[in-house]
Structure 1
């Protein structure tokens, strides 16, 4: 278990007028997860995503795999 705190940041993909998410990628090596939260509710719930799944999601976004 780690005592390291999440270091939250808003990814560049989220610059759309306040409808953003924040991620804390600093924990992926110690916990194997990437915490994700709503930037408008910093004290609200946090979704913890396995690092490999988060990486796959980001790769899909950048490659256009989710474009319609």
Structure 2
């Protein structure tokens, strides 16, 4: 395989510049303000996820289909520590 075949395509490049999460209502995964967790927000049909401890950091963007697969995997224990 060539180097180009190993690159992962950014399938959200066409929308990423249009999504504005700055005014989004972020939903946190925890009720404990001393223990910030993962935060999610819904903007223009996409789902953003960020680290609550680094709110100015990057936002992962999911399509609804990707989000459904992620949530299903989490419920199924796919991301549990061994």
Give TM class, smaller chain.
Answer: 0.5 to 0.7
Residue of structure 2 equivalent to 1:23:
40
User: In proportion to residue count, which structure has more helix?
Assistant: 1
TM-score between the two structures when normalised by the length of structure 2: 0.54
Question: How far apart are residue 23 of structure 1 and its match?
Answer: 0.4
Residue of structure 2 equivalent to 1:6:
24
Higher relative contact order (CA 8 A, sep 6+): 1
Distance 2:79 2:19 in 1: 34
Give me the CA root mean square deviation: 2.9
Higher-Rg member (1/2): 2
Question: How far apart are residue 9 of structure 1 and its match?
Answer: 1.1
Give the gaps of 5 or more residues in structure 1.
Answer: none
Count of residue pairs the alignment pairs up: 61
**2:66 pairs with one of 48, 53, 57:** 53
Question: How far apart are residue 43 of structure 1 and its match?
Answer: 1.8
Give the gaps of 5 or more residues in structure 2.
Answer: 1-17
| Cα offsets for 1:14-40 (capped at 9, x unmatched) | x7x736210013x2xxx2310111101
